[in-house]
Structure 1
Amino acid sequence: MPSPLGLTSVPRKSLLALLLLSVAPVAISAQKSDHPSFAVTSVKPYVGETPAYSLNFDGGHAELTRITVADMIRHCYRLTTNDQIVNLPDWAKNDRWDIKATEEEDISSKLEHGPLDQRMALMNSLILELMHDRFGLRESKTTRVLPAYELTVAKSGLKAQPADAVIQGFQGLDGPNGHITANGASMALLVMRMGFMPEVQGHPIVDHTGLTGEYSWKLNWTPELSSLSANSSDLPSLFEALQQQLGLRLVATKTAVPAIQVDSISKPSPD
């Protein structure tokens, strides 16, 4: 699982920074399809010890570094844990890849403009098509019953404020664990960010808030793995901060969550 880095919106430089061989790369054209795809991709095995992956989209170029197939599937389908991916071979969970790609001009333009959720959806569609083309991935949607958390609105009511009609500058989520600032962020972005937090123990989070808009807020808490103990920090735990500051609750449960069934997949030939 990637490091719990901030999800930033993006003036494009690094559209997403998440936690997040000696053979020279040879450019290979992506197959044309009805879905948006990269113009050119290069896929090489990653050899090293750094565990966290990163995704960077910048000015017509994309780099997916130190990434596994499991990472890409989770990212594209907004899954929290590998338990939500059925029939995935071990190599797809463990083998890491360095991927470089270029975008067609019209796709690059769409990644620079428009609502953040639409830009992220396009980015995920590009990554998914890359897996179809280079890894032979064929998948179908399903569900699994797993330990999970439900995100709901607290009885006290929502405290996050609706975003301004016109959002200037930064849009999305930003900040390290313990301090998050949101401007024009959806509940889906909050759920994705919380999925990286140690407090949820890798369990999926199901959004039952019913909130479809974009909101602005600040969230401050004492991270579970912080060097500060609960006794030495004035900030509440994540669960308490969500309720006190945003009017949201995380409730532990066991329920059906979205999952992906892998029907077929194969290792790519490095280039």
Structure 2
Amino acid sequence: MNAGRSALVAACILFTALCSVPVRGQAAAAAPQITAPAFEVATIKPSDPMKRNRGFHVNGNRVNVENQDVTTLISVAYSIHPKQIVNAPDWFNTARWEIDGVADKEGKLSVPDVQLMLQKLLADRFGLKFKREQREIPVYALTVAKGGPKLEKSKSDPNALPDQHGNGKGRMQFQNTTMTVFLLGMQSEFDRPLVDQTGLDGHYDFSLRWTPDGVAAGDADAPPGMFTAIQEQLGLKILPVKAPANVLVIESAEKPSAN
């Protein structure tokens, strides 16, 4: 697992995991023609190098992106793991940005709304151009362990948004969560993309406690590492495999001018 990426970044990717949105121009054929939301106005400026807080905040039709690098912005906008971003310049991971803007639509924004807004912002303000390819790459496959899953069927409205939260120190609570949402939310805790091979299509409530890599177990009752915790607590198993996966091959991008 990738101990270098923070749990807060995991929360950022978790935010987009609630609903995967296709690349612009590749919508499903049966989808109705609608006008995609965009930022009516947005300010972008470099983050203070000393700043530690990071996050995504949505309030009504206002979006605030706090201290995020472009790799994370792309991961959020397209619901992908950072390892699925290919040929990126170094500054994608080193330069961080503050973005504050208002949507060109009234009312509360949905997760797909925010993803489409970020996609357009990346294209218009960061000059992001890429091509999508499918390559066979190392991934982790989530499967059902011997003995079956240890998951409680959620009693929440299945149409309601999932609720996932934690303390950033190896403890997460999941409510009304699908396996797809769970894996996308945990992407940055691993050093390769996660794929769902469980065959489980319901909504579940469960918790997960683990000891992050690089953290010494403080006592004998400390939880195990991530792989063991998922198997023991959820009845699921993660296997390293190679599988075809979509990647975004970066063709060009530029740092935006501050405004």
TM-score range, shorter chain: 0.7 to 0.9
In the alignment, the residues of structure 2 paired with residue 172 and residue 96 of structure 1 have an alpha-carbon distance, to the nearest angstrom, of 27
In the alignment, the residues of structure 2 paired with residue 219 and residue 260 of structure 1 have an alpha-carbon distance, to the nearest angstrom, of 31
TM-score (norm 1): 0.75
**Could you tell me how far 1:268 is from its partner in structure 2?**
1.9
**Could you tell me how far 1:88 is from its partner in structure 2?**
1.8
Cross-structure match for 2:198 = 209
In the alignment, the residues of structure 2 paired with residue 135 and residue 92 of structure 1 have an alpha-carbon distance, to the nearest angstrom, of 11
Residue 125 of structure 2 aligns to which amino acid in structure 1?
R
**Could you tell me how far 1:69 is from its partner in structure 2?**
1.6
Tell me if 1:222 matches 2:220. Answer: no
Cross-structure match for 1:42 = 43
Gaps of 5+ in 1: 9-14, 17-32, 112-118
| Residues 58, 203 of structure 1: alpha-carbon distance in 2 compared, 3 angstrom cutoff | same
Structure 1 contact 53–66 (Cα < 8 Å) conserved: yes
Cross-structure match for 1:22 = none
DSSP 3-state at the match of 2:122: helix
Q: What does 1:19-30 correspond to in 2, within 5 Å?
A: none
Cross-structure match for 1:27 = none
Tell me if 1:158 matches 2:158. Answer: no
Structure 1 contact 64–99 (Cα < 8 Å) conserved: yes
Cross-structure match for 1:116 = none
In the alignment, the residues of structure 1 paired with residue 5 and residue 212 of structure 2 have an alpha-carbon distance, to the nearest angstrom, of 17
Residue 62 of structure 1 aligns to which amino acid in structure 2?
V
Cross-structure match for 1:258 = 246
| Residues 49, 79 of structure 1: alpha-carbon distance in 2 compared, 3 angstrom cutoff | farther
In the alignment, the residues of structure 2 paired with residue 139 and residue 149 of structure 1 have an alpha-carbon distance, to the nearest angstrom, of 25
Tell me if 1:97 matches 2:97. Answer: yes
Residue 6 of structure 2 aligns to which amino acid in structure 1?
S
DSSP 3-state at the match of 2:231: helix
In the alignment, the residues of structure 1 paired with residue 87 and residue 5 of structure 2 have an alpha-carbon distance, to the nearest angstrom, of 21
**Could you tell me how far 1:36 is from its partner in structure 2?**
1.5
Gaps of 5+ in 2: 17-33
Further displaced range: 84-93 or 124-133: 84-93
| Residues 244, 120 of structure 1: alpha-carbon distance in 2 compared, 3 angstrom cutoff | same
Structure 2 contact 5–188 (Cα < 8 Å) conserved: yes
DSSP 3-state at the match of 1:76: helix
Alpha-carbon RMSD: 2.8
Cross-structure match for 1:267 = 255
Cross-structure match for 1:57 = 58
Superposed CA offset, 1:248-268 (max 9, x none): 111112333331122332322
How many residues end up aligned between the 2 structures? 235
Superposed CA offset, 1:113-165 (max 9, x none): xxxxxx32222121111111211222232233333211112232222122225
Cross-structure match for 1:115 = none
**Could you tell me how far 1:105 is from its partner in structure 2?**
4.2
Residue 248 of structure 1 aligns to which amino acid in structure 2?
L
Match of 1:235 among 223, 230, 236: 223
| Residues 192, 136 of structure 1: alpha-carbon distance in 2 compared, 3 angstrom cutoff | same
Structure 1 contact 172–189 (Cα < 8 Å) conserved: no
**Could you tell me how far 1:203 is from its partner in structure 2?**
1.7
Superposed CA offset, 1:40-86 (max 9, x none): 101112231346632111233211122222111112222222x3212
